[in-house]
Structure 1
Amino acid sequence: MGNIHSRIIWDPRKCGPGTHPTNFAEFFDLKKFPGRRALPNRADLVLEVALLADGACSNEIYPLDIDRALKALDRGRSGIASWFSTTTQGVSLVQTGELDCSFSFASRAKATNEPGGGRPLASSFEQNVFSCETFAVLKRAPNRQNAMKLIGYILRPEVQVEVGGGVRGPHSQMAARPGESQKSFYRFDLLGR
């Protein structure tokens, strides 16, 4: 369905400028940025983060060097106070002050700055991990034709903008241009979009 980007989040009331990590190397640097952290218990995200923290360039991530990633995780393990299983946990642990920083979807960080979002969190634009959402229809699905129609409908640009509620930004290359509030959050303005 679309691309999702995840990044480091923190409470700006607790951590002022220069007192929080903004990239994954800093996230794992417990001497420069002490504090309790959280990471998702998802290898697909954490191994990429660990390699970036270890200095791998984005074009060097795959094929995954699992040994290198695990060594990088070992260096930062003492600061990981929580391995969360839901995105909400990673956000709420920072909002309640139980943790100093975490890793979450950009949409979740943005949602904390909306009315009813709880304590507003900040996030870093310096380094992100991208992942994709997908749809699938089983080969012998009894309602295959209707399932394909549903996917076709959901992938329409105007529907994607509505489904995302303006939180995630464009979901496909054909999606409508983001509104001004999205531009400032997602930095599309820097990309000339």
Structure 2
Amino acid sequence: MTKKVAVLALLSACATPLFADDSLTVVSFGGDNRQAQEKAFYQPFSASQGTTIRAADYNGEMAKIKVMADTGQTTWDVVEVETPELLRGCSEGLFEPLDWSRIGQQADFLPAAVSECGVGIFIWSTVLTYDATRLGGAPQSWADFWDLEKFPGKRGLRRGAKFTLEIALLADGVPQQDLYTTLATQEGITRAFRKLDQIKSSIQWWEAGAQPLQWLAAGDVVMTSAYNGRVTTAQKEGQPFSIQWNGSLYDLDHWAIVKGSPNKAQAERFIAFASEPEQQRDFATAIPYGPSNIHTLALLDAAIRQNLPTAPDNLANARAMDTEFWIDHGEELEERFNAWASK
């Protein structure tokens, strides 16, 4: 080997990245949420680790993840998932079990944020959102959402059984504490769909979190269900939107690693980084979702804390989604919902 070739080989070796693959594919629900993640997680992780984050969006469809896990052709590394999908996917072998010694101390997280295959990112709420300039008053509950005479106009709801069936039962007068015991019966399911029938012709079904606020801004709908963080972002941009926290439903989103990811160790490093209080502070500052690391709240300004789903006033009439219920009944109810919606 000539001296010149030897030097080039040495330089090449020194330039080799710390990890076998110096890129990581992270898949989220997109929109304002992704923008906040890029600012708080992706960009600083890339800067500190020399890792390129390939960001992608999806709508939570587990079918894509299942195909990857089943075929071994895994092209996604880290994915953002809701709680029922996380636990169901973990039991079905769609996600990698995590090495918590690489993530952090479990005691530093909310209990609901700790699981075998996932780490909670944030707490979010589905809230009733409306354009005060287009209504003759302020809706006080989901029952008002159904009042087409008092509040005429189109409504937006998430296309799917989860949250939609709960909202229908709340609108029909079911107390929050009885929500899932009612929905666990055939009579309760029938009651929820019967309630949805009442306004079916006035519903626009959204699938991506950005859609309901786009429709609200365009006047296509006068009120809608929406994710609280996206509403607050729209308010900061000057939109005259209001939130009704009464009857809100909250849950966590989690990081998970798709089974067969060739970059599992690096993915765990990313999750550990994104779970640090300082990074979660930056995320909650960019979009008001509640942090999962218990040491983060002390780092946030009071003005930000009051807009989080975890603020006492916002939690007063809120209901946590029943994860176990949706694990047990999710598939059958989603099938029934899709059949109903397509009629």
Q: TM-score range by the shorter chain?
A: 0.7 to 0.9
Alignment-derived partner of residue 152 in structure 2: 34
CA separation of 1:25 and 1:190: change in aligned 2, threshold 3 A: closer
1:111 aligns with 2:229: no
1:176 to 283, 291, 297: 297
Distance 1:103 1:20 in 2: 15
Deviation of 1:111 (Å): 0.8
Q: Deviations over 1:42-82 (max 9, x none)?
A: 221211211211222222222534222111111222332x1
- Unaligned runs of at least 5 residues, structure 1: none
- Runs of 4+ with deviation above 4 angstroms: none
Q: What are the ranges of 5 or more consecutive residues in structure 2 without an aligned counterpart?
A: 1-120, 315-343
Q: What secondary structure sits across from 2:307 in the alignment?
A: helix
TM-score by length of 1: 0.83
CA offset digits 1:7-31 (Å, max 9, x no partner): 1111122235xx2423111111223
Residue among 79, 93, 96 paired with 2:215? 93
Match of 2:179 among 51, 61, 81: 61
C-alpha deviation, 1:34, in angstroms: 2.4
Name the aligned partner's letter for residue 166 of structure 2: E
The equivalent of 2:163 in structure 1 is 45
- What residue number does 1:76 align with? 199
Could you tell me how far 1:155 is from its partner in structure 2? 1.6
Distance (Å, rounded) in 2 between the aligned partners of 1:52 and 1:189 = 21
Letter aligned with residue 190 of structure 2: D
Q: Report deviation, 1:118.
A: 4.9
The answer to whether the 8 Å contact 2:166/2:179 transfers is yes
Report the residue type matching 1:71 in the other structure: R
Q: Which amino acid aligns with 1:165?
A: T
**Alignment partner, residue 252 of structure 2:** 132
What CA distance in whole angstroms lies between the structure 2 residues aligned with 1:59 and 1:180?
Answer: 30
Percent pairwise identity:
25
Larger helix proportion, structure 1 or 2? Answer: 2
CA RMSD of aligned residues (A): 2.3
What's the offset of the Cα at 1:130? Answer: 1.1
Which of structures 1 and 2 has the bigger CA Rg?
Answer: 2
| Structure 2 residue identity aligned to 1:78 | S
Q: Does 1:153 align with 2:276?
A: no
1:14 to 108, 125, 134: 134
Q: Which moved more, 1:55-64 or 1:66-75?
A: 55-64
